[in-house]
Structure 1
């Protein structure tokens, strides 16, 4: 078996890592062992056969990028604890076997752990689309297909994300987005458990103030993931009308209970002590208690505010009890939580919550609570206020965290409509996700509630099996919610896109009809002299277009640019030129000097250099989704045909007029697959055109992967004083695909452009010239240019084939490893 794995293991001097290193060195699949250290200055001594590797931290984006640079084998193994571990028999071979599947980006396995002197099983759970919380328990041993790890590093580089804490989390999200994360249901290694806190203590890690900086980064990484995968929701909430129904009571305190004889009386008295300016009642759902709880509740049978429900059904969980209560005819306008273990922290809790409903016009309100012991003494972590919630992004971040806070309160008509899952764990979280998808959730950051922790709590000290069951259920809730939000966005995007396409088509046609300059030049274009020259089996069009002299002859040196006003800035455009906002920060304009019918220009609304945006693929997708279906976009690099290299812009033309698109559609265009992130994103090389081309084909499913584009751009030659490689880019959509065609360049203009009289031809190739529309503003150039001249010009300014082959070799070598 080939050596297919590079291993990255945290290392500290004086740790018992020798056995680990020996096991790795003895494995027939291990290529190199890198020992990760955060030591600065003198490097710690490392075991023979290993290479020291300095990082800032295990979880940073910088570390992921450094590891990706060393990932020159098909697979990469990363251990995420500094403590030693022991590999099971043939464990690495088993991991390598699972990673053979090209669609598998990462694997993890069950493991054993030494805990308090005893070796115990620590099973993991399967990864779902909803397993997006940052504390998902993979265990410490992670293994990757290197191409996915490299893709994740490229994504963070491309999005200019510099994470101190969230690099590994962002990597995992990227892999889940572009491939599969696979759970190996086998015990493959043993690790030492260093965190022996009870489950009831661990569940609040994410709200520990000491972790606040960490959580900010995690939210940033997660929000980026939601945007890339089409799940992100803007904060456009439905308005709530609180007067649609008549209620006897303004609020109801809902107490589901079973066997809480020690605490139920405290809870009832806490509710009855509430001081409000509205009528409220208490609905207690006694779920077949057998310990005397029912008798305690019966003491209040004559109290006018207390309703004691005893269901006939025996299959109700906490959620089912809530459903029974909120469908009671005397349930109030707002249903407010009080668990049978807990207390309101003051007599003003109900009034504060109801006031918040009206003040913020929200459908759900969540407060702040304090953790206490049975005797109400504060215990760690103290106040739980969930200040990670923000008005603009809380409803998105809710998908990442495991809880939303307490007490929770709901507008009853909507709660009845949505329904509460009939379970006894996670029902509150399910409601928070469902409400936040559509409605605003109000937050109260003052303490309202006391959450008592004692030995009788249902989640005080759970075993790993129950923890896994609970986490798997919440992951399934997130999976369901993610699917619903993606479907919602797709439907909205389709509706908006169809509307935008029609509106933008009307705008283009109207501008060409009403703007005299554009209308005249469009009419002249239709009468222009054209001829065809067959190259690569397709007819290239040579066009005599005098109106394009302003672009072909444009001076693009810095001094000339600085001496003239930018003609793409809105303030400098002609009075008759109209603009229509499009995409995220762009304007749609017609080109008054068209090369093809209904030629458009799409400049950035703000003045910035002609440099590819970091989210280029996403930008292209967004713009194409708003343009009429027949349009292709193209980008002229600052030194590759852009007559305005000082202002970022795209251009667009109907695809039917572009010879290169017809060539690409042919089955014999000779595409060679170079790399893929998943089945939905593939990089090809095309050698059968007049000059080398690269293409990226992506599925039109709302996802845009930037990494293949970023990686190929990094491989293209680039001068030290230039911000990006010389390049022309053509993009369009057809069927279910988006195609991005990259035309690498080595020169701005051919020698004939500046040749002496008689040999001179003023041809300054941009994307359309490279794609088969040769623009000649001078008639003498139109008349004398030949097939061989065209071939010579495009090959002279295009990337030399030998340079392209060097790039190909790198990809082939990586694929063979």
Structure 2
């Protein structure tokens, strides 16, 4: 039997399709998904529900699909005959001109594009589909990338393409191929693309093809070349545009010598004569002897010419540089960053230089940390492109007229840094004569198959590089295994009787939920920290209990690979509660130690979380820098993280790290989701945007963090008060609650029994809000972040 799922729509076609499916005896159920169809939550729910049947059918555009005659029977027969995890088929496309066949392409290992066309009807073996969602989505909260991450987790060898048209789709996107190809750089799609990059990066890590940031410098000597830069223009039959392109170069103002190498690929429309009309000695006219060169072959001919400069800079024969500083800025970037390739930004325009949609193509999805990995997901890298000649001479372009630039870009990014200039340097002039203006489906398929093949080749190379020995025969240093804190905790209980007793007592503490965001714990042992005096005199009068000489003899210090050593917390409120103490007696301040905070996070098992109490935010030892940590699963905001991030509001970010506002929790909070080790810059921005209390050296914050296999999640609770009014009240109004990170995260610790029994959900929410920044103050922080 087959379970069928589709996004909800009130459209009459969707209702008719659902009714037709329900009447088929091979379909066990038809379920409509109301919200966020492509989210992690939706795909995991569909996978779980579909386990009752052998197969699952997902129809992504039910309002545009009509199933072919006998399609369900054909699918059922294929399910019985073939061994696949996923099946997709060709279909008919209903256009204004009638019904046309719409062939699709075969899936291959390098088919990493998130816009790969599978059509709108997908069939899965239910068990494999469930396993893929568990592997790809279990620790995610994607709003858009649930489907993309799931299909990446399905082995490419088990994704089957059937060359039969089994259904019909209505054509809705009537734009030309030349317009559609830039959808992924449209700023309106930025949130979507951020998630797609995260999913792709996770996948590359899972198959051992992920590369850390590239650091190799391109070593060049400009004096070894006749000129510093050469502009390369391959051309064939562009008599209408070639002069404009040449003049665009000749007007460049530079502090170095340059020339133009024009590879005239056997033009016969007057282009050759147009080139020869220039008498400027900087114009070098090359006519190849061969008649089998594509654009890549023309590039090889130019870069191997003895007149080629140290840097080879691209200009297509249809296009122009945006102003007379383009060439100088590109060379400056090479000199500053010693990169192997520089890519600028361009503006789409017509022949009157009026902007055309989508306008500026700046590829801001590129980051130094992850651009070289994300390059395997996107279909282009930008323009103008420029290369270090000595490097590309050893890595020739493929002799094609499509994708040759992309092939070179992903190959170079495997080893070298790529420099980016996000200002417009180039004008891409669109007209009917452009080679990619309006391609047939057959030509689009051919191009997409080729680029997928380039990615397949590159994946193989990167997996080899990431294997036990790299391409150069050098043994790779493997990351250390996470520290087993659980074992160390058990060892400590066996040699410290008082501590062992407190750990046993923790198993019997009472915890009760007050609402979906807040629970309360009764823990009399915590009176020590809840009631701690932290004024300057009190701190000066007592020995620091985190310094080596003042700790109990039984308390063992464990190294973590950072400057923070692990100590079991003598008065635990969490399972396997640790304190991570700085090696020197220095004040509590997180920004100075944030790099080690995240390093510590990655040095321990992902079963643990760590947290920071600011000096006036719950820290009982504000004079000695320290973090704390414990096993995950007891603090509500972490336990319910899937729900909170699903409802979060995106503020800003890059493709490797994003900052959100948590909008559905008991108190204000910010969250950073980031690839390993990339959260610092957003944290620093947030830290700097928060108000600084008078007389303090840092904003009042509590910080909590945990991780999965590839990402770190950082929660920041912005504070304005150390303790609520009820802390110092008398009588029935008194509540001995002094919020630290654990309390701010929704687990309020009460050392008094009367508070445990008497505290209400409204009181608890009020306490957390009282010590937090107000809504107006949060708005000011967000405005500061968005400046």
Q: Which TM-score tier does this pair reach, normalised by the shorter chain?
A: 0.5 to 0.7
Residues 57, 63 of structure 1: 8 Å contact kept = yes
- Residues 718-749 of structure 1, C-alpha deviations (whole Å, 9 max, x = no match): xxxxxxxxxxxxxxxxxxxxxxxxxxxxxxxx
Residue in structure 2 matched with residue 788 of structure 1 by the alignment: none
Question: Aligned in 2, Cα 1:122/1:636: closer, same or farther, shift over 3 Å?
Answer: closer
Residues 608, 630 of structure 2: 8 Å contact kept = no
Structure 1 position 146 matched with structure 2 position 104:
no
In 2, Cα distance between equivalents of 1:482 and 1:602: 42
Structure 1 position 556 matched with structure 2 position 553:
no
Residues 254, 325 of structure 1: 8 Å contact kept = yes
- Residues 573-593 of structure 1, C-alpha deviations (whole Å, 9 max, x = no match): 9899786657xx9999999xx
Residue in structure 2 matched with residue 385 of structure 1 by the alignment: 362
Question: Aligned in 2, Cα 1:198/1:66: closer, same or farther, shift over 3 Å?
Answer: same
Residue in structure 1 matched with residue 186 of structure 2 by the alignment: 208
Residues 6, 59 of structure 2: 8 Å contact kept = yes
Residues 77, 143 of structure 1: 8 Å contact kept = yes
In 2, Cα distance between equivalents of 1:118 and 1:242: 58
Residues 569, 605 of structure 1: 8 Å contact kept = no
Aligned ranges 1:624-703 → 2 under 5 Å: 648=630
- Residues 302-327 of structure 1, C-alpha deviations (whole Å, 9 max, x = no match): 42111111111111100000001001
Residue in structure 2 matched with residue 74 of structure 1 by the alignment: 54
Deviation at 1:412, TM superposition (A): 0.8
Residues 567, 573 of structure 1: 8 Å contact kept = no
Residues 91, 189 of structure 1: 8 Å contact kept = yes
Correspondence for 2:99 among 101, 119, 123: 119
- Residues 670-721 of structure 1, C-alpha deviations (whole Å, 9 max, x = no match): xxxxxxxxxxxxxxxxxxxxxxxxxxxxxxxxxxxxxxxxxxxxxxxxxxxx
Partner SS for 2:224: coil
Structure 1 position 305 matched with structure 2 position 282:
yes
Aligned ranges 1:475-486 → 2 under 5 Å: 475-486=452-463
Structure 1 position 400 matched with structure 2 position 340:
no
Question: Aligned in 2, Cα 1:588/1:420: closer, same or farther, shift over 3 Å?
Answer: farther
Structure 1 position 409 matched with structure 2 position 386:
yes
- Residues 268-319 of structure 1, C-alpha deviations (whole Å, 9 max, x = no match): 111111110100000010111111111111223x421111111111111000
Structure 1 position 229 matched with structure 2 position 207:
yes
Deviation at 1:569, TM superposition (A): 12
In 2, Cα distance between equivalents of 1:76 and 1:404: 37
- Residues 181-230 of structure 1, C-alpha deviations (whole Å, 9 max, x = no match): 22112111111111111000000111112111211121122222222222
Correspondence for 1:354 among 331, 335, 346: 331
Residue in structure 2 matched with residue 166 of structure 1 by the alignment: 145
In 1, Cα distance between equivalents of 2:270 and 2:169: 46
In 2, Cα distance between equivalents of 1:481 and 1:475: 10
Partner SS for 2:301: helix
Residue in structure 2 matched with residue 277 of structure 1 by the alignment: 255
Question: Aligned in 2, Cα 1:577/1:419: closer, same or farther, shift over 3 Å?
Answer: farther
Deviation at 1:555, TM superposition (A): 3.5
Aligned ranges 1:38-187 → 2 under 5 Å: 55-71=34-50, 72-99=52-79, 104-155=84-135, 158-159=138-139, 161-176=140-155, 180-187=158-165
Residues 235, 317 of structure 2: 8 Å contact kept = yes
Deviation at 1:60, TM superposition (A): 2.0
Residue in structure 1 matched with residue 401 of structure 2 by the alignment: 424
Deviation at 1:382, TM superposition (A): 1.2
Correspondence for 1:220 among 195, 198, 203: 198
Structure 1 position 21 matched with structure 2 position 1:
no
Partner SS for 1:142: strand
Residue in structure 2 matched with residue 372 of structure 1 by the alignment: 349
Deviation at 1:431, TM superposition (A): 1.1
Question: Aligned in 2, Cα 1:158/1:84: closer, same or farther, shift over 3 Å?
Answer: closer
Partner SS for 1:265: helix
- Residues 37-65 of structure 1, C-alpha deviations (whole Å, 9 max, x = no match): xxxxxxxxxxxxxxxxxx21322222213
Deviation at 1:380, TM superposition (A): 1.1
Residues 604, 649 of structure 1: 8 Å contact kept = no
Residue in structure 1 matched with residue 298 of structure 2 by the alignment: 321
Residues 222, 310 of structure 2: 8 Å contact kept = no
Residues 564, 581 of structure 2: 8 Å contact kept = no
Higher alpha-carbon deviation: 225-234 or 410-419 = 225-234
Structure 1 position 241 matched with structure 2 position 219:
yes
In 2, Cα distance between equivalents of 1:198 and 1:500: 48
Structure 1 position 446 matched with structure 2 position 399:
no
Q: Which structure has the bigger radius of gyration?
A: 1
CA RMSD of aligned residues (A): 4.0
Question: Aligned in 2, Cα 1:219/1:561: closer, same or farther, shift over 3 Å?
Answer: farther
Residue in structure 2 matched with residue 8 of structure 1 by the alignment: 5
- Residues 526-545 of structure 1, C-alpha deviations (whole Å, 9 max, x = no match): xxxxxxxxxxxxxxxxxxx9
In 2, Cα distance between equivalents of 1:636 and 1:389: 32
Residue in structure 1 matched with residue 174 of structure 2 by the alignment: 196
Q: Structure 1: which 5+ runs fail to align?
A: 37-54, 509-521, 523-544, 592-600, 608-618, 625-632, 638-645, 651-817
Question: Aligned in 2, Cα 1:570/1:457: closer, same or farther, shift over 3 Å?
Answer: farther
Question: Aligned in 2, Cα 1:107/1:555: closer, same or farther, shift over 3 Å?
Answer: same
In 1, Cα distance between equivalents of 2:554 and 2:263: 71
- Residues 730-772 of structure 1, C-alpha deviations (whole Å, 9 max, x = no match): xxxxxxxxxxxxxxxxxxxxxxxxxxxxxxxxxxxxxxxxxxx
In 2, Cα distance between equivalents of 1:129 and 1:604: 45
Residues 91, 168 of structure 2: 8 Å contact kept = yes
In 1, Cα distance between equivalents of 2:306 and 2:147: 51
Deviation at 1:491, TM superposition (A): 3.1
- Residues 587-615 of structure 1, C-alpha deviations (whole Å, 9 max, x = no match): 99999xxxxxxxxx9999799xxxxxxxx
Question: Aligned in 2, Cα 1:491/1:499: closer, same or farther, shift over 3 Å?
Answer: closer
The number of aligned residues is 549
Residues 199, 462 of structure 1: 8 Å contact kept = yes
- Residues 52-87 of structure 1, C-alpha deviations (whole Å, 9 max, x = no match): xxx213222222133223212121111111424222
Residues 137, 150 of structure 2: 8 Å contact kept = no
Residue in structure 2 matched with residue 286 of structure 1 by the alignment: 264
Correspondence for 2:312 among 335, 340, 349: 335
Question: Aligned in 2, Cα 1:431/1:100: closer, same or farther, shift over 3 Å?
Answer: farther
Residues 177, 438 of structure 2: 8 Å contact kept = yes
Residues 342, 449 of structure 1: 8 Å contact kept = yes
In 2, Cα distance between equivalents of 1:69 and 1:442: 45
Question: Aligned in 2, Cα 1:121/1:102: closer, same or farther, shift over 3 Å?
Answer: closer
Deviation at 1:89, TM superposition (A): 3.7
Question: Aligned in 2, Cα 1:561/1:113: closer, same or farther, shift over 3 Å?
Answer: farther
Question: Aligned in 2, Cα 1:427/1:157: closer, same or farther, shift over 3 Å?
Answer: closer
Question: Aligned in 2, Cα 1:30/1:277: closer, same or farther, shift over 3 Å?
Answer: same
Structure 1 position 460 matched with structure 2 position 440:
no
Correspondence for 1:30 among 19, 27, 31: 27
Question: Aligned in 2, Cα 1:272/1:140: closer, same or farther, shift over 3 Å?
Answer: same
Residues 603, 649 of structure 1: 8 Å contact kept = no
Higher alpha-carbon deviation: 249-258 or 27-36 = 27-36
In 2, Cα distance between equivalents of 1:495 and 1:571: 47
Residues 61, 167 of structure 1: 8 Å contact kept = yes
- Residues 510-564 of structure 1, C-alpha deviations (whole Å, 9 max, x = no match): xxxxxxxxxxxx9xxxxxxxxxxxxxxxxxxxxxx99698998774323598579
Correspondence for 1:266 among 244, 247, 259: 244
Question: Aligned in 2, Cα 1:278/1:56: closer, same or farther, shift over 3 Å?
Answer: same
Question: Aligned in 2, Cα 1:553/1:404: closer, same or farther, shift over 3 Å?
Answer: same
Higher alpha-carbon deviation: 97-106 or 281-290 = 97-106
- Residues 126-154 of structure 1, C-alpha deviations (whole Å, 9 max, x = no match): 11111111111111111222223323443
Residues 234, 298 of structure 2: 8 Å contact kept = yes
Residues 256, 321 of structure 1: 8 Å contact kept = yes
Residues 565, 581 of structure 2: 8 Å contact kept = no
In 1, Cα distance between equivalents of 2:142 and 2:375: 21
